Amino acid sequence: MPRPRPPYPAVSGLFGKPTVLNNVETLANVPAIVLRGAEWFQGVGLHGAAGTKVFALSGTIRNTGLVEVPIGIPLRTIIEDIGGGAPEGHEIKAVQIGGPSGGCIPRAELDVPADHGSLQRLGAMMGSGGMVVMDERSCMVGEAFVVAQIAPAVPVTVLESEGASGTTLHALANQAMAQSLGQPAEALLGAPAERLLGFPELAGVGELLAQDAPEYAVRELDRGDHCSMASVAAFRSDSGEVLGRILTIADTTPLRRMALEKSRFIRTMVHELRAPLGAIRSLVEVAVDGCLGPDLAAYQPLLARAGARIDGLAELIGDLLSFLQIDLERQPPIPPLGSEIAAAVAATVEEHRARIDARGLRWSVELAPDLPNAAIGEEDLRTVLRNLVGNATKYNRDEGSLSVRGETAAGFVMIAVQDTGIGIRASNLPRLFDEFYREPRPETRAVEGNGLGLAIVRRLVERVGGTIDVASVEGEGTTFAIRLPIAGLPAPLPERTNQVDCCVISTT
Ligand code: ADP
């Protein structure tokens, strides 16, 4: 079954070990290289390419089937010598290579070496090695439309030119395009382009097409709550005449939403940085202007407040850096043996000891004796615990209690941090892990904080495949429970119901 990533197979795959995933075709080369050596393998290909490639010959060609050839031999050799050329005196027109996302190579380019770089330069690719040969009876517009149908998730339209002027266009829309326009596919088959371009969803595409026969042009289509990227590419005949255009629409709404979220985050961040700066400035101004008279002692409380604000700012900047760092790290750093919970909990309690004692909190740590290590980096585990134990101290009541419990539950290491503090209002729970969110209550206003701690905790826990839950009663207390995968074992899925694990090895 597909699993959420990370961890990636190269870090933790089969039996929790680093695992290489490759096509059977690639893996089949390994024994030959081991037996005969790298030099022999490199000597097989042509023009600096190494090894062989299997192509699947099909279409209008005499000999269809699988052929294995040295990488880099000319396409013409594969098609004419091995494949026997087009049948019954027909003439080869083009070769579609690399599957639907590959490209068509025209007859004039058949001497191209069949290697990755040369094919890519012609806009095709080797890909899975599929090769569909077409002779002069094939219509390239029809072929383009077939490809458009094969890519069902992407709305694609082929606009076919009519007549020598190339100005009248007819549309062939694939299923996804018809669906995005709310039409049955047949309704758009061969419809005049004006009809297609009249849909509000495609407003703006007309202007894109009106540009002077562009080879390739893109334009963003913005419809308020929905936006997409339209791209138009011309396709030509052997003699260079434009046969039509392929219009592809990519839904960019999720990307736009992400960009907006980033902007919102930056705006809040700037506001959070600016507010304490303003306060510090006012406090310093009072001191500089000497508003409180010549007695220096009168300024002490002001400067102490300014100092506390500066500490808060420094903490915010530290948290922001951690938060952004998590986004930048593609793979979370996990030591090979994971992290030991007991050591991390002991260090965290020690770190908060002065504050715990100052508030007269009773505290306890209860860890199952055989607690396995958790699949999380040591630094990350410390950050998670520091935030949870810090909150259980900050938002507790004087003389209250605080406990940290650790046990194994359903294949995870579970750590619960419980306090007897102010609790959290049920209606505020859904926003608790949002960046910069602080409960708008008089009790929290008196407590130093920036609302980034829980957002950081959630990201750190979730990126190693763990979860975090909260249970709270306002005025009575809160429990945060994190579940972390066990080091050395694959992360279990949260709910395992008769699940069958299987491994699919591509045969192409
Ligand atoms: P901070 O504590 O810096 O404000 P957090 O992201 O750690 O930021 O917490 C966000 C908010 O969640 C806090 O402002 C507080 O309103 C609430 N909160 C977190 N932990 C607790 C807790 N143990 N008890 C009560 N409220 C909490």
pLDDT, block means (10 residues), the chain with 508 residues = 66 79 87 92 85 91 92 93 91 87 86 90 84 88 69 67 57 78 78 81 82 75 84 77 79 89 93 93 92 91 93 94 88 89 96 96 95 95 97 96 94 95 95 95 91 96 94 96 89 48 34
Question: Which residues, at least 6 apart from 160, have a Cβ–Cβ distance to it below 8 Å?
Answer: 141, 169, 170, 171, 172, 243, 244
Q: Is 360 helix (H, G, I), strand (E, B) or coil?
A: coil
Question: Which residues, at least 6 apart from 258, have a Cβ–Cβ distance to it below 8 Å?
Answer: none
Q: Which atom of ligand 1 is nearest to the CA of 454?
A: 6
pLDDT of residue 126: 85
pLDDT of residue 475: 94
pLDDT of residue 155: 72
Q: Is 134 helix (H, G, I), strand (E, B) or coil?
A: strand
- CA–CA dist 190, 169 (Å, integer): 9
Residue nearest to atom 25 of ligand 1 (CA): 423
- CA–CA dist 84, 232 (Å, integer): 36
pLDDT of residue 497: 40
pLDDT of residue 154: 66
pTM above 0.75, yes or no: no
Tell me how far the alpha carbon of residue 451 lies from the centroid of ligand 1, in angstroms. Answer: 7
Q: Which atom of ligand 1 is nearest to the CA of 392?
A: 23
Tell me how far the alpha carbon of residue 423 lies from the centroid of ligand 1, in angstroms. Answer: 9
Tell me how far the alpha carbon of residue 478 lies from the centroid of ligand 1, in angstroms. Answer: 10
Question: What are 249's two structure tokens?
Answer: 């629409």
pLDDT of residue 164: 46
- Give the count of beta carbons closer than 10 Å to the beta carbon of residue 491: 21
CA 147 to chain CA mean position, Å: 27
- Helix boundaries (H) for 395-452: 442-445
Q: Quick check: bond before 6 cis, omega within 30?
A: yes
* Ligand 1 touching residue 419 (CB < 6 A): yes
Q: What domains sit in the chain, N to C, each tagged with a CATH number?
A: 37-138 (3.10.20.600), 153-249+500-506 (3.30.450.20), 336-486 (3.30.565.10)
Tell me how far the alpha carbon of residue 279 lies from the centroid of ligand 1, in angstroms. Answer: 23
pLDDT of residue 161: 63
